[in-house]
Amino acid sequence: MKRLFRTTALAALLLAALPSAQAATYSFSGMMDSGSLTGSSFFGNFSFDDLGLSGIGSEIRGLSSLSLRFAGQTYTLFDADAAPDVSYLDGAFLGLSYSASGIEPKVAFVAGHNDVSGAYLAYTKNGLDGAGTVIYAAVPEPESYAMFLAGLGLMGLAALRRSKQA
d(CA 88, CA 136): 14
pTM above 0.85, yes or no: no
**7: in domain:** no
pLDDT band at 52 (very low <50, low <70, confident <90, very high): low
C-beta of residue 38 within 8 angstroms of C-beta of residue 135: no
**101: in domain:** yes
**129: in domain:** yes
d(CA 109, CA 104): 15
d(CA 114, CA 90): 10
**35: in domain:** yes
**5: in domain:** no
**91: in domain:** yes
Range of the domain at 91: 24-161
Element (DSSP H or E) covering residue 158: helix 142-165
- Residue 15, pLDDT > 60, answer no
- Residue 21, pLDDT > 50, answer no
Q: What is the pLDDT of residues 93-142, one digit of tens each?
A: 999 999 999 999 999 999 999 899 999 999 999 989 999 999 999 888 66
